[in-house]
Every structure is written in structure tokens, then in C-alpha cells.
Copies of this chain bind each other. A is one copy, B any other.
Amino acid sequence: MTGQLGRRERKKAATRQKIADTALRLFAERGYDAVGIREVAAAADVAVTTLFSHFSSKEALVFEQDEDFEQRLVRAVTDRRPHEALIPALRREIHAMVQHCTADGAASLWRMIEESPALRQYEESMRQRHARSLATAIAADLDLPQTTPTCSAIARFAVDAFSVARETDDPQTAVDEIFRMIEAAWAVAGATPPTRESVAV
């Protein structure tokens, strides 16, 4: 083995990266809606079908770090230090994610997202996926056989915190503000043991 990946996998990764880079450059230059898939493929010197074998949709070209975000949320729960409570761990991660997304280099990217309805819609359904994964992780953390309404709700609240905060002028403060609410919500949920129905199959 050369390094860790074979030539084949390196080439594949290179192709993927080239497509993503080309797409983001074109989108930045001329706007997301004004650039077609055929154009991106041509500029990256690949076939349209190749592009779609690397990215599941045009929007996915923009949200390249989709799975990163998802795993960060899940790991914030599963890999947290022993004895650290659930909500503070989530809060720290959301803080970091917000910081990452409001960093200077990313501003124009998020502006582009806000201007395109298609991208907004994609982002929303992406967050829903993330909330589902997070809910599963939370349920597992509580040794529950499956997600309860409380798990799903807390997961969604956390994701909401990110979305709402990112749209405000002072994201970090907003995250803290919302997480105080989530903390309170979690407290009453924990105090109220789940009813028979909500755990039953």
C-alpha cells in the first residue's frame, strides 16, 4: 500500500475535490442559480454522471461537510468526558459549530445559501437528518431501546439553537440564551419519568 490509500482511492478523492472546488468557485463567481450542472461538470472536466456519482444533488455540492456536522453532533454526546452532563456537552459543540460557520472565510458562502431557496430547503432537511441522528444518540446514552418524544424534542431543540443563532447578529449570546431554555426543558423532562405509552413499542 502506498501511504494508506491506494492510487484508485486517491484519484477518486482528487476527482471529488476538484469537482467541489470548481463548483464553489463558479457559484461564488456567478451565483448558485446561474450556474448549471452541465457547466460545473465541464469546468471540472468530468462527465455529468461522474459528478452525480460523487454528489447526490446539486445542493450537496455546497454542503460538503454535511456528514462532518452530523458526526460532530453525535460524538458530542457519545464521546464526551465521563461525568459531563448531556446538555452542556451539546452546548459546547453547538458553540463550536456556530463559531466555525460565522468565521470570516465562510460569510459569503452562507450569504449565498440564504439567497437561494433551493439551498435553504436543502439545509433544513439536512438539519432534520442531523436531529434524527442526534435523537438516536441521546436515546442510546440514556440506555433507552429507542427514541422517545423527549429525546427527539431535545435533539431538535439543539439543532434549532444552531439555526436560530446563525441568523442573529450575536450568535454566541443567542446560543447561550437558547441553551438556558433547553437546560430547563431537559430538567423537567428528566424529572417526569416517561409514561408507559411513550416507551412501549
Interface residues of A (CB under 8 A from B): 120-122, 124-125, 128, 149-150, 152-154, 156-157, 160-161, 163-165, 167-170, 173-174, 177-178, 180-189, 192, 194-195, 197-198, 200
Q: How many copies does the complex hold?
A: 2
SS class, residues of chain A in contact with chain B: helix
- A165-B149 contact given A157-B157, A197-B173, CB 8 Å threshold: yes
- A184-B188 contact given A120-B125, A160-B160, CB 8 Å threshold: yes
Cβ–Cβ contact B178 & A150, under 8 A: yes
Q: Which of A185, A186, A200 has the most CB of B within 10 A?
A: A185
Cβ–Cβ contact B197 & A186, under 8 A: no
Interface pairs (20), CB distance under 8 Å: A120-B125, A121-B122, A124-B124, A124-B128, A149-B165, A153-B161, A153-B178, A156-B156, A156-B157, A156-B160, A168-B198, A170-B198, A177-B189, A177-B192, A177-B195, A181-B185, A181-B186, A181-B188, A181-B189, A184-B184
